[in-house]
Structure formats: structure tokens, C-alpha cells
């Protein structure tokens, strides 16, 4: 399998709602943040125009 084919397969899987759940378990949070649901909500918020970027508190 070529790299491009793997990318296509990965995008297809993500669009179908599949996620690398085992990879998420290995992260510090224990779950994945950027899920298909997150992007659906992001899209809705952008369409409604009430999306605000999270402000990062900086230590002074």
C-alpha cells in the first residue's frame, strides 16, 4: 500500500466515524480530543457564527 492510499483509507475511516480508540487510551487524557463529533460541533458553531476560539491563559 502506498502512502497516498493509506491517507485515503484513513480519511474515509474518519469520515465514517471510526477513530483510533486504542491510540487514545495511551494518551495522557485517556481519550481522543479531535473526534468526528468535535468537528461536527465545530462546523455547526461556525455556521451559526457563535464559535469563539479558546483563549489560552499565558503566565506573565
Partner 1 sequence: MFKMFDAPVPGENFTSDTRNYPWHRPPEIVEYDDGVDYLLEKLSDPEQAELTYSMLEINLPIVTVVSAMLMQGISKGKFPIDLAVLMAGPVARYIQIIAKNNGIKHELGIEDKNRTPITPTSLKMALGIYEDAEDDTVEVEEPPVAAEGFMSPPDAAVEGDPASEEEQAAMLGQVEENEEDML
**Which positions lie near partner 1, rule CB under 8 A?**
3-4, 6-8, 10-15, 20, 23-24, 27-29, 32-34, 36, 39, 42-43, 46-47
Contacts of 51 (CB under 8 A, 6+ apart): 42, 45
Nearest to 36 by CA among 27, 24, 48: 24
Least separation in angstroms between residue 32's CB and partner 1 is 6
Least separation in angstroms between residue 7's CB and partner 1 is 5
Contacts of 45 (CB under 8 A, 6+ apart): 51
Residue 54 or 59: which CB sits closer to partner 1?
A: 54
Amino acid at each position: 500500500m502506498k502512502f497516498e492510499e493509506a491517507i485515503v483509507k484513513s480519511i474515509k475511516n474518519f469520515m465514517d466515524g471510526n477513530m483510533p480508540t486504542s491510540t487514545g487510551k495511551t494518551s495522557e487524557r485517556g481519550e481522543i480530543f479531535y473526534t468526528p463529533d468535535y468537528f461536527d460541533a465545530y462546523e455547526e458553531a461556525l455556521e451559526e457564527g457563535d464559535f469563539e476560539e479558546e483563549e489560552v491563559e499565558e503566565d506573565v
